Structure 1
Amino acid sequence: MPIPHLWAALFFILVFFLGIDSAFGMIKTFTSGLFDMYPTTLGRYKVLVTLGICMASYLSGLIFVTKGGMYWFQLFDWYLCFFALMLVALLECLVVSYIYGIERFLRNVREMLKPVNNTFLTVMKYCIMVEVPIVMAGALIFTVATFRSPKYGKYVYPEWTNVFGWLLGMSMTLPIPIIIVYNILSAKGTFIERLRETVKPVITRKGGVITDLKDEDCAHVMFPQPDIVSVTKETTEC
């Protein structure tokens, strides 16, 4: 190939910007959730919090550039990408479609992307409700049924790495049932009333305005909600 040094430089520049682009998406997703949950505390120090998360991510990633980095990378990739990510993606689709309500979600999309094509929203609706859950559930079942211990080339990982890998995978999925059980136990009333209370979305607006939701707005297929949904008085940044 002519001018090999130029193409080599362009390749590594491409890899650098690809990493920056991926980091933007991951860091922004994580920090947005933190700032929405704690707007009055962490929201005041957005730059410092984001810098701290970036530095922590950088330091934790140094293990992958050591002499045994490829073995660690293979271990993380084996247990995190195959099982945990598919389970989280499946649960996200189910929660958005059947608990939060797909129609409410589409209205949120319309609010953010005005104007938006209705055909696009229809395709998105059936993908989130039907296609993606079926594909993710099938892939998850196939992955569990054909699971084998990790290996890298001819190297077979020792037994303790399997325990570490499963603990690593559960670190992403175990908080989900823990939070569910905690919220149900913290609520009041019968079990069904607690379940309804925990899956009821809380609409927060600046100034703590109470939003009146109609029956068709409360798209809880599993657990229909009352007409009025209380709103916290804490202000959040839009």
Structure 2
Amino acid sequence: MMPVPHLWAVLLFLMLITAVFDSIFGMIETVTSCIIDQFPRQLLKRRVLVNIITGLFFFLTGLPLTMNGGIYLFQLGDWYFALFALLFGALFECISICWIYGTDRFARDIYFMTGRNVSVVLRVLWTITIPLFVTIAFLALLTQYSAPAYGDGYKYSKEAIACGIFVGMLPVMAMVAAGIVAVAYRDGSLLQRLAASLKPSANWGPYEEDTRDRYRMKPYIYPSTWWQKFKENITGRNDDFSV
């Protein structure tokens, strides 16, 4: 009904394509960066190959979603991923980076990577606002939980719900397993191993040698109290870490 309908049809699908690219870019980059960070010397110069293999893997595993029962698989996975993995992962990420690793130390790392200081607004969002709102959303979803359904009254079987819960909990179980391994392979008592697992390893730092040397000229010292840590997370330290 609009003038030049073919133009609007083309623009609509171009908009959809760019929206898909924008949405999937973050997911692909997160996975490939994690893989490359684990084996930097072998894979850093082969980033294009890693991207291609990761994209093919996602393509093959996504094919079942294009079949007749794909919408049911999508609804089941989306139901529990949004409930467990997404919000719990976001909350755990905020806590681990801002309150365990430290927002101020994270800001220091960003400076070494980009040459820019992190503003107070971003520090407040990362440290307080985002964890608070994610916690509220997570609790609201748990209190309003209902079994998944699709269309006009279609209800999933108990077996399907169990599979959905298991798949939705996989990222959470992976984080718990990684934490157990990090604690188990350390020396000392349980509390000592737990405290040691919450700090970066001795070889933590930039990959490039000259940047690594600059990074280690001023080793980061954690605050002695929670109040001091909170204050530094928001305002930063007075010393210049630009070295």
4+ runs of 1 displaced by more than 4 Å?
207-210, 212-215, 219-222
In the TM superposition, residue 114 of structure 1 has moved relative to its aligned partner by: 3.6
Alpha-carbon deviation of 1:129? Answer: 1.4
Does the C-alpha gap of structure 1 residues 213 and 196 become closer, same or farther in structure 2, counting only changes over 3 Å?
farther
SS in 2 for 1:167: helix
Q: Which runs of 5+ in 1 are unaligned?
A: 223-238
Identify the residue that residue 232 of structure 1 maps to in structure 2.
none
Conservation of the 8 A alpha-carbon contact between 1:86 and 1:136 = yes
Specify the alignment match of 1:168 in structure 2. Answer: 167
CA distance in 1, matches of 2:149, 2:198: 41
Q: Report Cα offsets for 1:24-58 as digits up to 9, x if no partner.
A: 22212211121111112333533222211101111
The reply to whether residue 142 of structure 1 matches residue 140 of structure 2 is yes
Gap change, CA 1:96 and 1:102, over 3 Å in 2: same
Q: Which TM-score applies when normalising by structure 2?
A: 0.81
Asked whether the equivalents of residues 101 and 219 of structure 1 are also in contact (C-alpha less than 8 Å), the reply is: no
Within the candidate set 150, 153, 158, 1:152 is matched to 150
Do the aligned partners of 1:187 and 1:194 also contact (CA within 8 Å) in 2? Answer: yes
Q: Map residues 27-176 of structure 1 onto 2, 5 A cutoff.
A: 27-116=28-117, 121-154=119-152, 155-176=154-175
Q: Which amino acid aligns with 2:200?
A: P
- How many residue pairs align between the two structures? 219
Q: Is the 8 A contact 2:72 2:150 kept in 1?
A: yes
CA distance in 2, matches of 1:135, 1:212: 37
Question: CA shift at 1:192, angstroms?
Answer: 2.1
The one-character-per-residue Cα deviations of 1:150-179 (angstroms, maximum 9, x if unpaired) are: 111221112211001001111111011111
Change (3 A) 1:10 1:219: farther
Q: 2:183–2:194: 8 Å Cα contact kept in structure 1?
A: yes
Matched residues, percent identical? Answer: 30
Contact 1:101/1:220 (8 A) holds in 2: no
**83 and 130 in structure 1: CA distance in 2 versus 1, 3 angstrom threshold:** same
> 2:224 and 2:17 mapped to 1: Cα distance?
44
CA-based RMSD of the aligned residues comes to: 2.3
SS in 1 for 2:40: coil
Show structure 2 runs of 5+ residues with no match.
227-243
With normalisation by structure 1, the TM-score equals 0.83
- Aligned equivalents of 1:142, 1:112: Cα separation in 2: 37
In structure 2, how many angstroms separate the alpha carbons of the residues matched to 1:11 and 1:65? 21
- Aligned partner (choices 199, 210, 216) of residue 211 of structure 1: 216
Paired AA for residue 96 in structure 2: V
| Contact residue 84 and residue 169 of structure 2 kept, 8 A | no
Shift of 1:189: 0.8
The alpha-carbon distance between structure 1 residues 204 and 105, as it changes in their structure 2 partners (threshold 3 A), is closer
Cα distance in structure 2, aligned partners of 1:36 and 1:221: 32
